[in-house]
Structure 1
Amino acid sequence: MIGPTWTLFDRVAADYDAVVPFFAEFGAAIVAAVDPPAGCRFLDLGAGRGALTGPALARGCRVTAVDAAPAMCAHLATAYPEAVVHVMDAERLDLPAGALDVVASAFVIHVLSSPAAGVGEAFRVLAPGGRFAFTGGSARSRLPGPIGGAPLAGRLDALFGEFAAHLAPGGSMGTPVDAADLLDAAGFVEIREARAEATVTFPDNATLWRWIMTHGYRAFVEDLPDNHRAEFHDRVLALPLDDGVLHRVTGIWSGRKPE
């Protein structure tokens, strides 16, 4: 992808998660899995439009939310005036060491230039005994995958996989990370695995296309050569939807900062 990751999210901020509440659904499930106590000092790292901020505030957490995209932060501050919102780089947090009890990050660490730096910063700003949780997979996973489910996710993944062959080296956004290894390397202990699920419904293919273009998938589309981008658009519009249900599952890995 050309340019810093945050610039894409700045461009899509007005429409992000507005087509279907995909990240909001995930956010509620992630916060439920993390289970932060009321009154804790909670950092939403790479907050976007507040998928974690809203549920954390609802639980009575004292929320600080940071994102590198100014437009995202502007929307977030308007939607959640109870939160303290800052424009900030997740790899270089302008926050004091040991100032937070819980740090959580949804679909962010894998798109950082240095995922290890982001995890290291989470470790630094946590108080001893504090916990960091973020989305990602790991070779250490022991949880079973989803059984059955709606077929749209598989069809969409297959389409992205087919067109990935047309990307230039370094195209699209993000790289796979091993979440457990990152936590280990940063010094976290009591590393745990949980998972969250989200289900949204698309009424038609045009809505599915609009959704693709309002979050990180847009980087993939924009990095395709022109002729393949047009073909990808047409293939999305022709994709069988069945009931239009998209079901996704994500791993949530967390670790505790030693006392």
Structure 2
Amino acid sequence: MNESTWKLFDRVAADYDQVAPFFAEFGRAIVDVLDPPAGCRLLDLGSGRGALTAPALARGCAVTAVDAAPAMVERLAADHPAAVAHVMDAQALDLPSDAFDLVVSSFVVHVLDDPAAGVAEAYRVAAPGGRFAFTGGSARTAEFERDTRPAAAAPPLARRMDALFEEFAVHLPPNGSMGRVVDAADLLQEAGFVDLRVDHATIAVEFADNAMLWRWAMSHGYRAFIEDLPDEHRQEFHRRWMELPATDRVLQRTAGVWSGRKPG
């Protein structure tokens, strides 16, 4: 992860997931989907403040949590002393090979400088027969398990937010914001994972008003997009955000949980 990315997360660590429990809700939903047993050796890769770590510990997993942002790791260690927490780059893990039954990464792989390197490291540290699962920024372009269900329309608030980001993306400077669309299936296959599958985790988080919604946007990765807009477009983006209709204050999102097994 490049310096500008982890430094942004270092800056927002105090507020991260504190305005609204968006990532905590996803963490619980993802762990429910993966259903790790008690005693599972679990690596939380790009752990933030512990959205995955907390529900994994509650299930009796032995959790190691790593993140490139020191302030995130400091808070995770304070809140979840049962976890082993390290400041570490997901693309170059200082961890032994074949050490974890389950490696999980929530909304991290797509913001790495080299997503393939991060997935290759997950493969290295996974035990033979273990799985790696991740969410975030994936295009479904692989041929296996193609989802034939009709696409559902995004809920109103999510749809309006997505449209606003799409409209203002043209004003970003080259290489502005953070993250990219990745092909989860290709990344997993190229790293050597087999038995690929995709599950789905859905959450709904309620916001009191647009001011709260804005504070939330500025407390995580969306902030990179907003700060990278030129001044006049940033002011307009903020105005338009604050004018989002108040008829729906529930943000509903569904994430694909892509996973593969390390042979052995």
* TM-score band w.r.t. shorter chain: over 0.9
Q: Which of the numbers 253, 256, 264 marks the counterpart of 1:251?
A: 256
Partner of 1:180: 185
Deviations 1:158-182, CA, capped at 9 Å, x for gaps = 0000000100111001000000110
Q: Which runs of structure 2 are paired with 1:38-187 in the superposition (5 Å)? A: 38-136=38-136, 137=138, 138-140=140-142, 141-142=146-147, 144=149, 147=152, 150-187=155-192
The whole-number CA distance in structure 1 between the counterparts of 2:107 and 2:150 is 18
Q: Is the 8 A contact 2:16 2:219 kept in 1?
A: yes
The whole-number CA distance in structure 2 between the counterparts of 1:187 and 1:145 is 31
Q: Is the 8 A contact 1:39 1:61 kept in 2?
A: yes
The whole-number CA distance in structure 2 between the counterparts of 1:146 and 1:84 is 40
- Deviation of 1:79 after TM superposition, in Å, equals 0.6
Percent identity, please: 66
Deviations 1:4-49, CA, capped at 9 Å, x for gaps = 3111000000000001100001010001111111101100000001
Partner of 2:240: 235
The whole-number CA distance in structure 1 between the counterparts of 2:208 and 2:109 is 31
Q: Which moved more, 1:20-29 or 1:236-245?
A: 236-245
What is the count of residue pairs matched by the alignment?
258
Residue 191 of structure 2 is aligned to residue 193 of structure 1: no
Q: Is the 8 A contact 1:146 1:249 kept in 2?
A: no
Query: Aligned partner of 1:37: which letter?
Result: P
Q: Is the 8 A contact 2:45 2:66 kept in 1?
A: yes
TM-score of the aligned structures, taking structure 1 as reference length: 0.97
Q: Is the 8 A contact 1:152 1:241 kept in 2?
A: no
The whole-number CA distance in structure 2 between the counterparts of 1:245 and 1:150 is 9
The whole-number CA distance in structure 2 between the counterparts of 1:132 and 1:197 is 19
RMSD (CA atoms): 1.3
Q: Which runs of structure 2 are paired with 1:15-26 in the superposition (5 Å)? A: 15-26=15-26
Q: Which moved more, 1:194-203 or 1:142-151?
A: 142-151
Unaligned runs of 5+ residues in structure 1 are none
TM-score of the aligned structures, taking structure 2 as reference length: 0.95
Indicate the SS of the match to 2:162: helix
Deviations 1:87-145, CA, capped at 9 Å, x for gaps = 00000000001111100000000000000000000000011001000014322341646
Q: Is the 8 A contact 2:171 2:229 kept in 1?
A: yes
Indicate the SS of the match to 2:169: helix
Q: Is the 8 A contact 1:195 1:251 kept in 2?
A: yes
Unaligned runs of 5+ residues in structure 2 are none
The whole-number CA distance in structure 2 between the counterparts of 1:3 and 1:126 is 26
The whole-number CA distance in structure 2 between the counterparts of 1:162 and 1:28 is 32
- The alpha-carbon distance between structure 1 residues 143 and 212, as it changes in their structure 2 partners (threshold 3 A), is farther
